[in-house]
Amino acid sequence: MTIDISPILADKTSGSYSYTVKILKRISEFIKNEGAALSPEALFEEVHQAGRRLIKAQPNMVLVRRYNNQLISFYKRTLKSGKNDKELRAALVEKIEELLAEMESSLEVIARSGTKVITNFNKIMTISNSTAVRRILEEAIRQKRKFEVYVAVSMPPGEGTHLAEYLSQRGVKVTVVADSQIGVVMDEMNLVLVGADRLYEEGFVNKAGTLPMSLVADQYHVPVYLAAETTKVLRESERTIKNIGEEGREVYLPENKEINVINYYYEKIPFSAIRKVICEEGVFEVQEFQSWYLGD
């Protein structure tokens, strides 16, 4: 009996927050249902392997790694605690709820801090479908701010359209922009908001296209703000950033076998490309954030 995470692995449009929520909830469901007949040791192995498979598939999603490791560490301690099978399973489910609540709390604070940088009649550009960015925009909607959002499609696989549709359903004026046409409209923008899957010493990892967007914004003197939880910090000195290629046919159907195809979903963006960082501790100048969270 194996925890089925194939729907999560097949998801090419969700960010690290959504992936982490999905895997934690799937593990919780397994503990309460399919895994009920397993011994505590066998259940531990299933939980451990499910997390490892997802980490291998998404090595740059630090939240997946961090919260999986926290759950595994808790499980190991609980196995040695003398709890009976029922108590152990209840403790695991409770721990997962605690981890989910912790993640939600961080996003709530980021949303409140981030909305302070949005003023009425702003034109805001973003890329991909960052949960942190979406939550900031949701809070601005709740506060009845009037603003427009320009969303880069983020091809492949085009998850920017999901954010565009989500915001449009909530009454926001939204414009979808082809990734190659960011420069066409950037001079109209007041602000760029981007998310991150990982923060490291010199910058952050996010959906490919974030760096060109940030550089174009700098050319037009448009401030770029990064919204991300500090739990996404993972120094490159601790674990190397991996660039995993996706299917080439998303970019070019190989009619000509002599043509090579590159298709990477993520890229490194140096901190020098952004103005400030919005996290659960507040809004920081980049150098201040680096000193506090990525210094020695």
| Residue ranges of domains in the chain, CATH in brackets | 6-108 (1.20.120)
* CB of 170 closer than 8 Å to CB of 142: no
Distance CA 137, CA 123 (A): 12
The mean pLDDT of 93-117, rounded to a whole number, is: 97
Sheet with 198-200, edge to edge strand ranges: 198-200, 203-207, 266-270
Provide CB contacts within 8 A for 296, sequence distance 6+.
none
- Say if residue 292's pLDDT is above 90: yes
Helix (H, G, I), strand (E, B) or coil at 120: coil
The mean pLDDT of 244-257, rounded to a whole number, is: 88
Distances (CA, A) of 101 to 24, 26, 144, 164, 282: 12, 16, 26, 27, 19
pLDDT of residue 296: 65
Mean pLDDT rounded to a whole number for the chain: 95
* CB of 148 closer than 8 Å to CB of 123: yes
- As given in the structure block, the two tokens for residue 20 are 């982490």
Distance CA 68, CA 296 (A): 25
Query: 229-248: per-residue pLDDT in tens?
Result: 999 999 999 999 988 889 98
Out of 63-77, 95-109, 210-224, 248-262, pick the least confident. Answer: 248-262
Cα R_g (the chain), whole angstroms: 20
Distance CA 177, CA 239 (A): 34
Determine which helix (DSSP H) or strand (DSSP E) holds 227, and give its type and residue range.
strand 224-227
Out of 29-38, 196-205, 220-229, pick the least confident. Answer: 29-38
The mean pLDDT of 12-35, rounded to a whole number, is: 93
- Say if residue 1's pLDDT is above 70: no
